[in-house]
């Protein structure tokens, strides 16, 4: 473990990460393309750098292009880079090879909290790359939240991150569609809210509405029982939902996509199966 860490990128995320490292007593060096953003951190004791430097560099920028731009000409021999920026898994894998080619090691990461959550109880980030390097720096990285090592494939951290983000975005966007649908008949958001809270909570429970667990088990087994609620019934129901959005004069991108996916599942031989059969369509576009 080292007592020194460099933070590269001082947007809302990187600046907060630098603060958490300062709080934890680290010797913090900071670098940002727009140098003026370092001033509040320097006032708190961070060292400003002319160029990204240091044995352990924690990077948080818009994307991996920013990392290439920032590190052009920097000697990476023996350096460990931990990049918590967003990009595609493919770009992360290519970046790990590029850093290795420069004599350094890249640990990729996806952090699961917004700036105020960094380092707070319950916060965590997915990390992928060489396990011994993640382990060696885990105490330092814990200043940002729990360290979840998901494996050596450098694309994995971003796959886990994007999988979570996808559930987050699509769940909340469907909540907004649903709130607008109720709103079209004068129902206030707060009037629908208790039922949405109930549904979201129950989906993660172990009861009869505990569909996350049930579908996960079904997908592992490759069997999707549908005697009690068939895919055909749900495809027809999804059409009714789309009609409701159209009749209310609302935007219909997500309801249309849902209907199309359910109808295809029904059409391609899964009409008598349950909801889990949708994954077969997702795996075969």
Ligand X SMILES: NC(=O)c1ccc[n+]([C@@H]2O[C@H](COP(=O)([O-])OP(=O)(O)OC[C@H]3O[C@@H](n4cnc5c(N)ncnc54)[C@H](OP(=O)(O)O)[C@@H]3O)[C@@H](O)[C@H]2O)c1
Contact residues toward ligand X (CB under 6 A) are 9-14, 32-34, 37, 60-62, 65-66, 69-70, 85-86, 111, 114-115
Closer Cβ to ligand X, 56 or 118, answer by number: 118
Structure tokens at 57: 């560099």
Q: How far is the CB of 92 from ligand X (least distance, A)?
A: 12
| Pairing of the two strands 124-128 and 105-111 | antiparallel
Q: How far is the CB of 188 from ligand X (least distance, A)?
A: 28
Q: How far is the CB of 114 from ligand X (least distance, A)?
A: 3
CA 186 to chain centre: 35
Q: How far is the CB of 16 from ligand X (least distance, A)?
A: 8
d(CA 117, CA 277): 37
Q: State whether residue 188 is helix, strand or coil.
A: coil
Q: How far is the CB of 115 from ligand X (least distance, A)?
A: 6
d(CA 257, CA 242): 10
Residue whose tokens read 């960094």 = 118
Closer Cβ to ligand X, 123 or 214, answer by number: 123
Structure tokens at 66: 């920013």
d(CA 88, CA 174): 24
- Residue number of the CB closest to ligand X reads 11
d(CA 49, CA 8): 10
Closer Cβ to ligand X, 11 or 210, answer by number: 11
Closer Cβ to ligand X, 51 or 65, answer by number: 65
Closer Cβ to ligand X, 159 or 234, answer by number: 159
């Amino acid at each position: 473990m080292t007592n020194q860490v460099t933070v590269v990128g001082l947007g809302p995320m990187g600046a907060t990460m630098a603060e958490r490292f300062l709080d934890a007593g680290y010797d913090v060096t900071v670098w940002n393309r727009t140098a003026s953003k370092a001033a509040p951190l320097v006032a708190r004791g961070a060292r400003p750098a002319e160029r990204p430097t240091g044995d352990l560099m924690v990077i948080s920028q818009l994307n991996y292009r920013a990392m290439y731009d920032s590190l052009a000409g920097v000697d990476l021999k023996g350096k460990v880079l931990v990049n918590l920026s967003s990009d595609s898994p493919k770009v992360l894998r290519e970046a790990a090879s590029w850093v290795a080619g420069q004599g350094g090691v890249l640990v990729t990461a996806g952090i699961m909290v917004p700036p105020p959550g960094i380092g707070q109880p319950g916060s965590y980030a997915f990390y992928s790359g060489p396990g011994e390097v993640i382990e060696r720096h885990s105490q330092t990285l814990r200043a940002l939240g729990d360290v979840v090592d998901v494996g050596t494939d450098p694309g994995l951290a971003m796959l886990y991150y994007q999988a979570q983000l996808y559930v987050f975005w699509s769940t909340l966007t469907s909540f907004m569609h649903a709130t607008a649908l109720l709103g079209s008949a004068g129902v206030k958001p707060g009037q629908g809210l208790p039922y949405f809270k109930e549904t979201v909570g129950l989906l993660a429970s172990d009861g009869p509405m505990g569909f996350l667990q049930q579908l996960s088990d079904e997908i592992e087994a490759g069997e999707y029982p549908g005697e009690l609620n068939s895919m055909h019934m749900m495809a027809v129901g999804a059409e009714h939902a789309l009609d409701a959005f159209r009749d209310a004069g609302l935007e219909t991108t997500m309801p249309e996509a849902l209907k199309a996916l359910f109808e295809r599942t029904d059409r391609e031989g899964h009409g008598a199966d349950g909801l889990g059969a949708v994954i077969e369509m997702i795996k075969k576009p």
